[in-house]
Amino acid sequence: MSEQSENNDDEKKPSITQVMASVMSAFFGVQSSKNKERDFKHGNHRVFIIMGLVTTALFIGGIALLVQFVLHITKAG
């Protein structure tokens, strides 16, 4: 990929998959500085907040389901 096309990629708004990848990376604390710069320059903060809230809700829901499953298996519930 040429340098010009890489610069064009940095100037575009992040796609929904790039937003999700950024949220997941930030969720686990491994966000690259290049992506962070792109997100701050071209991203819409509302999209990141909504995606972060959805990701957090899914994570908490998954943990709750896992706990219920383990309690059901061990007959402790």
Question: C-alpha distances in angstroms, 1 versus 6, 8, 38, 54?
Answer: 7, 11, 18, 34
pLDDT of 9-43, one tens digit each?
556 888 889 889 988 988 888 888 888 888 888 88
Amino acid identity of residue 68, one-letter, is Q
Written in H, E and C, the secondary structure of 2-45 is CHHHHHHHHHCCCCHHHHHHHHHHHHHCCCCHHHHHHHHHHCCH
Q: Would you state the pLDDT for residue 10?
A: 54
**Percent with pLDDT over 90 in the chain:** 35
Q: Where are the domains of the chain?
A: 3-73
Cα-to-chain-centroid distance, residue 47: 11
Q: Would you state the pLDDT for residue 11?
A: 64
